[in-house]
Amino acid sequence: MFRHMELAAVPPNAFTFAGIIAACSSSGHPQGLQAGRQLHARVFKFALEHDTSVCNALVDFYSKSSARLLDLVHAFNATDTPNVVSWTAFISGLARHGRDEDAFAAFAEMRASGVQPNSFTVSTLLKGCTSSQCFVNAAKIHAYVLKTSLQSLDVSVGNSLVDLYSRFARMDGAWTVATSMALVRDSFTYTSLAKGLNQVGLPNKALEMIVHMFQEGVHVDSFSLACFLSAAATLPSIEPGMQLHCCSVKLGLSSQVSVSNSLINMYSKHKCLEDAKSVLQSIREPSVVSWNALISGLASNGSYYEALSVFEDMTLGGAQPDAITFSIVLHACTHGGLVDIGINHFNSMRKHFGVSPQRSHYTLFLDMLGRAGRLAEAACTIEAMPIQPDLSMYRNLLAFCELHNDLVVGENVARKALELYPSDTVFQNMLSGICGAAWKHDRGVHVHSMKSDAAISFDVSTSSMR
DNA sequence: ATAGGGTTAG
């Protein structure tokens, strides 16, 4: 429509730009970023770069669409007199980039500049709070909220606090806030509570939330139901899970993908793999989570080959696997003894699916090779990795060298490990493993650490270690 | 023009 407007020579105004820029940030299309940048240029052409709404739309756009933090900072700095909306969009962007501390700093700066935060600002700030360092700041925000809210808590702010405490496993704090929200609790409140209770290992308590919801007339929706099904998945009996399945059908929520995904998980955890499979088949457009849940369910029930076959179905159908998919696949290959298949999948994850192996994938991959006794390949992998290997990776690999009596690889791995981690205690621990292997092989070994100027020798003739 | 909840691994 914007193009039609241009062709019709109708000059766009600030409202036009605010609307069309917002469309770019919420479209979910990769072209959104490109289109938004072009519109940014048009803003200057029409001399609207000082309009507050346009500036705010741009801040929000760069916050949501650009991977570059500088884009966001520039857009915010270009705003002449930032108002509460500008600051909130900016804080939201900082949080999205994982800059918790900066988000709190911006909040302080905002208040210092005389702009009063609103409930949107506080919710944004609390959601962005992920590190335990920031939890301390968040507790101060709680105090600030209590001090400034004249009557009762805003629902969104209250829910953000409940969620915050739940995320940090502080269920007492979450419950206290929820209690203070007596008349305004909604499905958001209960979803956060249920998720938190699941995380601290209290699935029965999580399921009790359903009773509260019924009593208070709060509707169970797909989000809360997903959490309840997740709780039911960990119970010893399948009954509550099946009741929730019935419940989801009665509520008309059984075709929601998140509910189906939780059902797949729930049936898998109770070893009802046929049910899990039929739920997957019932989904019109399975998400990556749906596939992951089934592949994982099959693998953890020992059906490694079938798990890999479902992975094939997934990719042949054009679904995009993610980092979790490959973790599950590697795990299945390791425990199913399907090493060559695992190597192929590991090599194809970046090449064919654009998923870069993370540290955890390398750990799984090394574990797979180590278990299978393919230690030379494992040693090559640990050397060629684009990330610095963990100490635990070396420890595990050395343990496999010992297990498989591969002293040659073991010595090389130990030497490399010592170059990276030259601390003496580590050195001793590793060497005792290698010397153990040397002893089994009835040969001596001498390893020297350049950095710590330490060395250990194991002398076969005297069975002594120096 | 700005905000709050979900399901999958180990």
A51 CB neighbours strand B below 7 A: no
Q: What is the pLDDT of residue A452?
A: 44
CB distance A308 to A341 below 8 Å? yes
Which of A54, A53, A73, A55 minimizes the C-alpha distance to A63? A73
Q: How far apart are CA A242 and CA A113, in angstroms?
A: 55
Nearest nucleotide to the CA of A322, by C1', is: B8
Q: Which residue has the tokens 């500008």?
A: A86
Task: Give the residue extent of every domain in chain A.
Answer: 1-81
Q: Which letter does DSSP use for residue A218 in this model?
A: P
Residues recorded for chain A: 466
CB distance A122 to A84 below 8 Å? no
Provide, in whole angstroms, the distance separating residue A117's CA from nucleotide B9's C1': 39
Q: What is the pLDDT of residue A450?
A: 43
Handedness of CA A103, A108, A112, A115 (dihedral sign): positive
**B chain positions with any atom within 7 Å of a protein CB:** 1-10
A56 CB neighbours strand B below 7 A: yes
Q: Which residues contact A426 (CB under 8 A, 6 or more apart)?
A: A391, A417, A418
A69-80 CB burial, b ≥16 within 10 A, e <16 = bebbbebbeebe
DSSP string, A350-402: HHHH-----HHHHHHHHHHHHHTT-HHHHHHHHHH-SSPPPHHHHHHHHHHHH
Strands A454-459 and A445-449, by their bridges, are antiparallel
A221 CB neighbours strand B below 7 A: yes
Q: How far apart are CA A454 and CA A162, in angstroms?
A: 53
Q: Which chain A residues 328-347 have CB under 7 A to strand B?
A: 328, 331
Q: How far apart are CA A346 and CA A339, in angstroms?
A: 10
Helix, strand, coil content of chain A in percent (nearest 5): 70, 5, 25
Q: Which residues pair with A458 in a beta bridge?
A: A445, A465
**Residues of chain A under the 50 pLDDT cut:** 449-454, 460, 463
CB distance A28 to A67 below 8 Å? no
Q: Is A232 helix (H, G, I), strand (E, B) or coil?
A: helix
Give the residue nearest to nucleotide B3 (CA to C1'): A120
